[in-house]
């Protein structure tokens, strides 16, 4: 039976995805674990994996085109199977490119739900499993893969599925003992928080009655694909002939003799992608054959894969104007949207101050002689900012529209540049951490951000943010406030320059910092007092340790 493949929601801010490349074309055989396409989201470019076996009958989205979440992107079924009735009953969010003659619907609509009435389920020994809320911003989750199938025995504590949230894939743990009686969401589909995804209970339990009772109670939305609005689309994508000639020449070669899903850590996949390796050729040394970082780093291909040479293009004539245009990535769209909202909704003002870093340079050199991890100047700025926030709690605040929140805890967001844009992992309770602990956390979170391994707890809850461009030779800059914070500190590089001390000109090391403030929350005097305290702590670093 043909199955609709829809665009999964891979991030809490994702509204649409872009097909970066199709790795299969209409008419190709598809097996579970095969990668159908690469999808560009707001956070990363991710692989769209098939969980169905059959023939790719229909492609609804051309490469480089976008499709809204839950829009139809493909159909997989038996060769020659009629799939047009699925398009007629599909989501109206499916993209429409070409007009097709209307056809009479061959099948009747889905039967209406049972009328709301009290259903006795006291004798049914089974439990409905709903989609949990895995982060404070999560609205939907996508079932990446099911690790159990209907009929399997399940014990409390076992992992039954992997769920994709906005920035990570997380494990869904069972808290019930019994048999997996029902799966309500196919792998690759999304379901809202509290939507029904499965039923676990004793073998033979009447789960259909339990589901009807759950539905009539109005406590959750039906998660299956047919529950989307059934308004018929006015246009359809022309079927196979128009898209069959859309190969994906840029895709890395994929081994076709593997029927199983590749088990690999996200870091291993990222390293393999960066090295241009086919991860299916790498032997895994982890638990259950899982491919880990060292497997990819130590892998030596038997022979370099033959890559088709790109079509030769003539070099532009001297003085000839030329350009190229690229569609905006999903991460860049999100950055543009959030920072534009911050810039134009929060009245920014800026305070800049010079800080003499001579003593900080000496203190860092001395501390690194005994510290278990190398302490950076950025670590010292984070520690000093946390200590200054403790003395100036009005800076450690958020604008909530009709009220201002003054945070008692201090969580420092640390801006990290990644290839696709910018992420802000959070160092929690920074004021209570030692410099070596801050250094260790900063290095760990920075590596996770670059390798796309951050978990929800790693990026949520910042109360103040620091952005440091000093390592790029930037003397000073202004940063846009990172909501929900009221302030962000922009840190420039340390520059050797002439300073006047005790009426004498001397060579000193100076660092400029600029505090961007939301004037709805923080006034000039409050921000200035904070910077004076920060200056005092960095110019005499011993005070940070008290």
Question: Which pLDDT score, from 0 to 100, does residue 479 have?
Answer: 96
Give me the chain's average pLDDT, please. 80
What is the CATH code for 3-86?
2.40.50.100
Q: Which of 17-31, 64-78, 245-259 has the lowest mean pLDDT?
A: 245-259
- The pLDDT of 352-375, averaged and rounded, is 94
Q: Which of 329-338, 367-376, 423-432, 493-502 has the lowest mean pLDDT?
A: 329-338
Where are the CATH 3.30.559.10 domain residues in the chain? 340-544
Active site residues: 519, 523
Question: Which pLDDT score, from 0 to 100, does residue 230 have?
Answer: 36
- The pLDDT of 53-76, averaged and rounded, is 89
Cα separation, 10 vs 31, in Å, equals: 22
pLDDT tens, residue by residue, 443-460? 999 998 888 788 878 888
**Does the structure show a pLDDT above 80 at 175?**
no
Q: Are 334 and 13 in contact (CB under 8 A)?
A: yes
DSSP state of 240: G
Question: Which pLDDT score, from 0 to 100, does residue 11 have?
Answer: 59
Most confident of 99-108, 193-202, 284-293: 193-202
Name residue, tokens 């996508």: 142
pLDDT more than 90, % of the chain: 36
Question: Which pLDDT score, from 0 to 100, does residue 420 have?
Answer: 77
Question: Which pLDDT score, from 0 to 100, does residue 106 have?
Answer: 42
pLDDT tens, residue by residue, 391-403? 999 999 999 988 9
Q: Collapsing DSSP states into helix, strand and coil, what is residue 520? A: coil
pLDDT tens, residue by residue, 312-333? 555 666 788 889 888 777 677 8
pTM of the model: 0.50
Q: Is 80 left (phi over 0), alpha (psi -120 to 50) or beta?
A: left
Closest C-alpha among 197, 191, 210 to residue 141: 191
Cα separation, 176 vs 371, in Å, equals: 47
Q: Are 392 and 529 in contact (CB under 8 A)?
A: yes
Question: Which pLDDT score, from 0 to 100, does residue 136 have?
Answer: 57
Where are the CATH 2.40.50.100 domain residues in the chain? 3-86, 126-216
pLDDT more than 70, % of the chain: 80
Does the domain at residues 340-544 carry the CATH identifier 3.30.559.10?
yes
Q: Are 295 and 268 in contact (CB under 8 A)?
A: yes
* 138: β partners: none
Q: Are 201 and 181 in contact (CB under 8 A)?
A: yes
CATH number of this structure's domain 126-216, picked from the four choices 2.40.50.100, 3.40.50.720, 3.10.105.10, 3.40.50.300: 2.40.50.100
């Amino acid at each position: 039976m043909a199955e609709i493949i829809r665009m999964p929601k891979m991030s809490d801010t994702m509204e649409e995805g872009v097909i970066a490349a199709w790795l299969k074309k209409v008419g190709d055989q598809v097996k579970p674990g095969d990668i159908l396409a690469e999808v560009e989201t707001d956070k990363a470019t991710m692989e769209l994996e098939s969980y169905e076996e059959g023939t790719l009958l229909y492609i609804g989205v051309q490469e480089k085109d976008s499709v809204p979440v839950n829009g139809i992107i493909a159909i997989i079924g038996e060769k020659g199977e009629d799939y047009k009735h699925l398009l007629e009953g599909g989501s109206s969010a499916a993209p429409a490119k070409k007009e097709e003659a209307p056809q009479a619907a061959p099948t009747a609509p889905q039967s209406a739900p049972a009328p709301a009435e009290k259903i006795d389920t006291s004798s049914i020994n089974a439990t409905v499993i709903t989609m949990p809320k895995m982060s404070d911003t999560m609205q939907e989750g996508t079932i990446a893969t099911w690790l159990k199938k209907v009929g399997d025995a399940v014990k409390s504590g076992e992992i039954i599925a992997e769920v994709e949230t906005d920035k990570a894939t997380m494990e869904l743990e069972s808290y019930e003992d019994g048999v997996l009686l029902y799966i309500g969401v196919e792998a690759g589909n999304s379901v809202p928080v509290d939507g029904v995804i499965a039923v676990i209970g004793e073998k033979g339990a009447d789960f259909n009655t339990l589901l009807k009772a759950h539905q009539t109670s109005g406590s959750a939305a039906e998660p299956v694909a047919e529950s989307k609005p059934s308004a018929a689309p006015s246009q359809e994508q022309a079927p196979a002939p128009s898209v069959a000639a859309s190969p994906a020449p840029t895709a890395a070669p994929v081994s076709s003799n593997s029927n199983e899903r590749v088990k690999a850590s996200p870091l291993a996949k990222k390293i393999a992608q960066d090295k241009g390796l086919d991860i299916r050729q790498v032997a895994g040394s982890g638990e259950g054959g899982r491919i880990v970082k060292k497997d990819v780093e130590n892998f030596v291909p038997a022979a370099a894969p033959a890559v088709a040479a790109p079509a030769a293009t003539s070099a532009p004539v001297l003085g000839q104007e030329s350009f190229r245009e690229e569609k905006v990535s999903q991460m860049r769209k999100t950055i543009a949207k959030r920072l534009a909202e911050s810039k134009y909704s929060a009245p920014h003002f800026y305070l800049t101050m010079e800080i003499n870093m001579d003593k900080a340079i000496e203190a860092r050199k001395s501390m690194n002689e005994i510290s278990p991890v190398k302490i950076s100047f950025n670590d010292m700025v984070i520690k000093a900012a946390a200590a200054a926030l403790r003395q100036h709690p009005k800076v450690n605040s958020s604008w909530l529209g009709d009220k201002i929140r003054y945070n008692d805890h201090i969580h420092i967001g640390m801006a990290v540049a990644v290839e696709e844009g910018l992420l802000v992992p959070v160092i929690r309770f920074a004021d209570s951490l030692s410099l070596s602990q801050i250094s260790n956390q900063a290095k760990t979170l920075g590596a996770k951000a670059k390798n796309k391994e951050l978990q929800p707890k790693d990026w949520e809850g910042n109360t103040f943010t620091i952005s440091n461009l000093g390592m790029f030779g930037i003397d000073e800059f202004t940063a846009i406030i990172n909501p929900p914070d009221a302030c962000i500190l922009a840190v420039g590089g340390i520059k050797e320059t002439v300073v006047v001390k005790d009426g004498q000109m001397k060579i000193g090391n100076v660092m400029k910092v600029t505090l961007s403030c939301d004037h709805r929350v923080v006034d000039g005097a409050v921000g200035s007092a904070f910077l004076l305290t920060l200056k005092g702590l960095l110019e005499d670093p011993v005070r940070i340790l008290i």
